[in-house]
Structure 1
Amino acid sequence: MSPTYLKRLLGDNEQILLTTHQHWIVLIEQILVEIVLAALTIILVTIFLISGSGNPSIALGYLLVIIPLVSLIRDVLKWWNHQYVVTNLRVIQITGIFNKNVIDSSLEKVNDVRMVQSVIGRFLNFGDIEVLTASEMGINRFTRIANPIHFKTIMLNAKIRLEDQVREVTSEASIYAIPDLIERLDALKQKGLITEEEFKEKKAALLAKIQ
């Protein structure tokens, strides 16, 4: 997939942390039939030529190899364009060679991550990941993804950093709002709605937050 297309999907201040694909075993399963058909075609045409039939048109049979080769190229492009991307804000799944299908899950809405690895998956380092979110989509499934533990770690670390940034901004916003709150308390005191002692107590508590 063109890096330019992926960059166009990114928002302001969004950075790519990881880009990966399904495991190579998925590609092998998809192209194995095409490889076998291409090999059989070459073998059969070669046998007919060697048998001495004397018909040179038999060599045209090699053109039949084009059919499985075209299918093989299509499967390779399909696998290559099926990408899983982790950014500092979300997880993106992109499929399609020409017509693109993009599904993303905001890290802020991710509630849980489930990973499943079979014995073969642990040996070859692939597995399934389910991202449970609070969005309408609910669950985003990544099947037989390469190096799922690394993918999960990168995603969860990005989520933690994002949550820390949100808490930091919220805390700063509260600090900047403290002078306004003190002014409102003073106004309540002037109106006789709170006592001088209550005003001093609440003012001290607010000032303690910025020390």
Structure 2
Amino acid sequence: MTTPQPPDGDEPPRRWQDQDTEQFSRPPGDDPSSTMSGGYGGAASGGAYYVVDEPLPLTEEELAGLRGESAPPPLLTTKRVMPLEDEPSGVVQRYLFPTEKFRGEWKRHWIELGKEIGIGLAATLLMGYATGYLAKKNIPSGVTIVIVLWLLVLLWIGWRIGDWWFDRFILTNKRVMVISGIITRNVAMMPLVRVTDMKYVQSPLGRLLKYGTFELESAGQDQALRKVENLPNPNELYLRIVEEMYEPEAVEARLGRVAEGEYGEEDGT
């Protein structure tokens, strides 16, 4: 004898049966219809079920983000390009035109003064030996001459140090420049759009002390900036120049200057 079914809309509440609880007591691995791993099961013939693992504890960085705090800086960084300088020095400012964007300036590596430092040390040692010898021989005029010569050598070394101090390699978004000289000032430049090839060379000593020589080519022509010696941190400087040549938007983004319509259509600056 069959039990009559109630009409639609008048169905009484359904009571729990044993088969209704099987989907919750059965392990996920025993469910043949399970399609996902990691504790999540798919749809079974009797219904769908989900097994949720215990929540993982939040890290300090995640907690700091929830509290609105800044996460601590990473121990290691992958930044390979040196930070950009904000403003040029007074030595360089006068050689930049208003629409040019300054990217950085660098003095040559101190190895540029290696010869002068060696001469100064040798002159000091010789002066000490010569003055002591002449003083024992009671030749005061000879001592005076030796001291005067030593002072002249020191004056020449001071001049070379001043020349090194004012000698700058400059990078902008338009060109590279080298400024040198104290009395007679030399300014050489090359547009970035004219650079067809560029490389840097490091000797074993250069790799140890982090300096190198840059060689720039421009359409097969001999340029004033064809060879720039003893520049510091050549790898980082090389990346800086290449980035300025091929990815100026990346430089602008790092400076926070990216704005709609800021770059030109022809040269991307």
TMscore range, shorter length: 0.5 to 0.7
- Which residue identity does 2:201 align to in structure 1? V
What per-residue deviation string (whole Å, max 9, x for no partner) do you get for residues 118-166 of structure 1? 2221111111111222485456211122211121111111223448899
Match of 1:122 among 207, 210, 222: 207
8 Å contact kept, 1:31–1:75: no
The equivalences for 1:8-157 within 5 A come to 8-49=94-135, 51=136, 53=138, 60-61=144-145, 62-134=147-219, 136-138=221-223, 140-157=226-243
2:196 partner SS? strand
Asked which structure has the greater RCO (Cα within 8 Å, sep 6+), the reply is 1
1:129 partner SS? strand
2:179 partner SS? strand
1:104 partner SS? strand
Q: Report the Cα distance in structure 2 between the residues aligned to 1:153 and 1:24, rounded to whole angstroms.
A: 22
TM-score, normalised with respect to structure 1: 0.67
Q: Percent identity?
A: 23
8 Å contact kept, 2:134–2:140: no
Deviates more, 1:120-129 or 1:25-34: 25-34
- Please, which runs of 5 or more residues in structure 2 have no aligned partner? 1-87, 253-260
8 Å contact kept, 1:91–1:106: yes
Shift of the alpha carbon at 1:168? 4.8
**For the structure 1 residues 65 and 14, does the alpha-carbon distance in structure 2 shift closer, same or farther, using more than 3 Å as the test?**
same
2:164 partner SS? helix
Shift of the alpha carbon at 1:45? 0.9
Q: Report the Cα distance in structure 2 between the residues aligned to 1:111 and 1:23, rounded to whole angstroms.
A: 26
Q: What is the match of residue 265 of structure 2?
A: 170
Q: Report the Cα distance in structure 1 between the residues aligned to 2:221 and 2:249, rounded to whole angstroms.
A: 21
- Please, which runs of 5 or more residues in structure 1 have no aligned partner? 172-211
Deviates more, 1:162-171 or 1:16-25: 162-171
- Which residue identity does 2:243 align to in structure 1? N
8 Å contact kept, 1:21–1:145: yes
Q: Report the Cα distance in structure 2 between the residues aligned to 1:125 and 1:65, rounded to whole angstroms.
A: 32
- Which residue identity does 1:80 align to in structure 2? W
Q: Report the Cα distance in structure 1 between the residues aligned to 2:248 and 2:197, rounded to whole angstroms.
A: 15
The equivalences for 1:191-202 within 5 A come to none
8 Å contact kept, 2:130–2:143: no
Q: Report the Cα distance in structure 1 between the residues aligned to 2:220 and 2:182, rounded to whole angstroms.
A: 27
Specify which structure has the higher proportion of strand: 1
**For the structure 1 residues 94 and 15, does the alpha-carbon distance in structure 2 shift closer, same or farther, using more than 3 Å as the test?**
same
1:32 partner SS? helix
